[in-house]
Amino acid sequence: MQIVDVKQFVSTADGSRRYAWKTIPIGEALKIAEPRLRCPECKGIIALRRRSEDGAVPNRGEHRAKNRGCSLGDCFDGVKRLAANPIEPDEDSIGE
């Protein structure tokens, strides 16, 4: 996947800040030291992978456990479902 959720402090419309999930591009996530991550769609645990040296495989996020119910993964079966052990599924992600 090319986008990931990272838990971070975000500014809200009223000027306050809160700790929330934010969906960001993979390139930004790689710049964060020890980010707290989850899949934006199925809320599953993901790991960041850097691109291969020859560039054939890009920077990406990968599910730790395959989820056939996630369209951001590589084995989607067409029916969206949360991960088996979702991370804070009740908290929505803030878009970019």
CB-count burial class (<10 Å; 0-12, 13-18, 19+) for 62: middle
Q: For residues 21 and 41, which CB has a smaller minimum distance to Zn ion in the complex?
A: 41
Total residues contacting Zn ion by CB under 5 A comes to: 6
- The count of residues in the chain is 96
Q: Does 5 bind Zn ion (CB under 5 A)?
A: no
Q: Does 26 bind Zn ion (CB under 5 A)?
A: no
What's the min distance (Å) between Cβ of 65 and Zn ion?
A: 10
Q: Does 42 bind Zn ion (CB under 5 A)?
A: yes
Query: What is the distance between the alpha carbons of residues 35 and 33, in angstroms, rounded to a whole number?
Result: 6
